[in-house]
Amino acid sequence: MEYPIPFSRYQEHMREGRFVGVRCGACGSVLFPPRAVCPECGGRAFSETELKGEGIIRTFTVIRVPPEGRKAPYTIVMVELSEGPYVLGNLLGLNPEEVGMELIGKRVLMKPQPVAGDLLLRGEFLVPGFYLV
C-alpha cells in the first residue's frame, strides 16, 4: 500500500500554489487533506483532484494565549470547501480585533501561508490561509 498523497507531496503542491486532495472512486467524496481511507464509505481507490480553494467559514476563534513560539492574536477558521471537505486554517487580511460572529457564513478563498515549525515539529510549513472574498 502506498499512502495516496503523503504530507511531503501535499507541501510540494502547496509550494506550487495548488491544493491537491483525492476523490474517492467508490462514493465520489473529496478528501482534503488527502487520506488513505475514505471516512464516508471506507473506499481506498482514489484519483487526485485539485481544489478550487473556495469555501464558507463555519466557525472561528481568535487565539489570545498562544503556544510557545507563536505571537497572538491570530484568527483560526474552520472552512467548508466548495468540494465538501472541512479544513482548519488561518484567517488573514483582517485584524483579529475586528472579527466576530458575522464571520460565520462568509465566503473565503484559500491561499498557502508559511509558518515556522518549532522544537517539537521541526521545519517550515505551508498551511491553509484564508482571505474574505
**Interacting residues with other proteins (CB under 8 A):** 7, 33, 39, 58-70, 74, 76, 78, 80, 85-90, 99-101, 104-105, 115, 117-118, 120-121, 125, 127-128
Q: Minimum CB separation from other proteins for residue 120, in Å?
A: 7
Q: What's the grid cell of residue 49?
A: 483532484
> Bridge partners of 108?
55, 132
Return the SS3 of 21: strand
Q: How far is the CB of 131 from other proteins (least distance, A)?
A: 15
Closer residue to other proteins in complex, CB, 47/64: 64
Distance CA 77, CA 96 (A): 11
Nearest to other proteins of 26, 59 (CB atom): 59
Q: Which is nearer to other proteins, 47 or 105 (CB)?
A: 105
Burial class of residue 98, CB neighbours in 10 A (0-12, 13-18, 19+) = exposed
